[in-house]
């Protein structure tokens, strides 16, 4: 069911968006060679406790997950791109690390993701990340009242395909509100003018993600982490966005 939020409810969602943004800003600065993924998860967990927030991940157990997630971050490294379950791994020079984080503040949820390279970066990795970021910007630009979800999808897909990447449609954006995942689904490619009409009060997570040389995934033995079928690297960018009469509001906007 698609739920629309009042202007007052969108204002009430701002603290959740600001908190998620602050955690990702902190984590971006902490991702470095020699840091353990479990240290990043512990830091996010500490920030959740200090803020009086709640994790959306730790007890999360959808049909595609082998068990409750058990951590508060998704940390996907190199050929992993989504749902990366943090484990005892020390970040190496040149690792491409994607971090996805969702939390609830006062009963409202926000969801966001970013990708960075630790240490020495390869041009191909930076290009992959930059493409997801441009695709996210293009999708947000179409998140205006009167458009349809297909307009967002088409804008994302156009950026990705123009850069030479193929697009997976299994996982994409989604509604956000009192829970982390709701309707509508927002695919990362599609046809403009199709899908659900965007109305003021709709809040969605827009999240383009890409793999360098494939659009096929497989699930790691941990039961959660999604990896590229051919071992190529992945990147992921995401914001929670509110549709309003005055245009899109990025609730999870980070500092420049």
Mean pLDDT of the chain: 97
Cβ burial of 256 (10 Å; 0-12, 13-18, 19+) is: exposed
pLDDT band at 6 (very low <50, low <70, confident <90, very high): very high
Collapsing DSSP states into helix, strand and coil, what is residue 168?
A: coil
- Output the CA torsion sign for 253, 179, 210, 154: negative
Distance (Å, whole) CA 207 – CA 201? 19
- Interhelix angle for 37-51 vs 7-30, to 10°? 140
Distance (Å, whole) CA 7 – CA 245? 10
What pLDDT is attached to residue 151?
98
Got the DSSP string for 181-195?
A: SEEEEE-SS--TT-S
pLDDT band at 255 (very low <50, low <70, confident <90, very high): confident
Residue 19 preceded by cis peptide, ω within 30: no
- Interhelix angle for 123-141 vs 149-162, to 10°? 160
Main-chain dihedrals φ then ψ at residue 142, nearest 5 degrees: -90, 0
> pLDDT tens digits, residue range 159-172?
999 999 999 999 99
CATH of 7-250, one of 3.90.230.10, 3.40.50.10490, 1.10.10.60, 2.60.120.680: 3.90.230.10
Percent of the chain whose predicted confidence (pLDDT) is above 70: 100
Collapsing DSSP states into helix, strand and coil, what is residue 140?
A: helix
What pLDDT is attached to residue 256?
77
Lowest model confidence (mean pLDDT) among 12-16, 43-47, 62-66, 98-102? 62-66
Asked if residue 38 has pLDDT above 90, the reply is yes
Rg (CA), the chain: 17
> pLDDT tens digits, residue range 101-152?
999 999 999 999 999 999 999 999 999 999 999 999 999 999 999 999 999 9
Average of per-residue pLDDT across 72-98:
98
């Amino acid at each position: 069911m698609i739920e629309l939020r009042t202007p007052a409810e969108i204002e009430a969602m701002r603290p959740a968006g600001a908190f998620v943004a602050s955690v990702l800003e902190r984590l971006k600065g902490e991702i470095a060679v020699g840091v353990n993924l479990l240290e990043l998860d512990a830091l996010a967990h500490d920030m959740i406790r200090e803020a009086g927030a709640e994790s959306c991940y730790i007890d999360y157990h959808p049909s595609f997950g082998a068990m409750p997630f058990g951590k508060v971050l998704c940390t996907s490294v190199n050929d992993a791109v989504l749902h990366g379950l943090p484990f005892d791994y020390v970040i190496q020079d040149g690792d491409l690390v994607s971090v996805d984080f969702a939390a609830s503040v006062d009963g409202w949820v926000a969801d966001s993701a970013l990708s960075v390279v630790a240490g020495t970066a390869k041009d191909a990795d930076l290009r992959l990340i930059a493409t997801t970021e441009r695709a996210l910007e293009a999708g947000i630009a179409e998140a205006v009242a009167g458009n349809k979800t297909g307009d967002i999808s088409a804008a994302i897909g156009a950026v990705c395909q123009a850069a030479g990447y193929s697009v997976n449609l299994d996982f994409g954006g989604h509604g956000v509100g009192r829970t982390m995942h709701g309707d509508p689904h927002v695919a990362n490619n599609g046809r403009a003018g199709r899908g659900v009409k965007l109305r003021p009060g709709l809040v969605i997570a827009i999240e383009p993600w890409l793999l360098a040389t494939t659009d096929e995934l497989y699930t790691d033995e941990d039961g959660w982490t999604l990896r590229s079928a051919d071992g190529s690297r992945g990147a992921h960018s995401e914001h929670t966005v509110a549709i309003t009469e005055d245009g899109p509001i990025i609730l999870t906007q980070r500092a420049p």
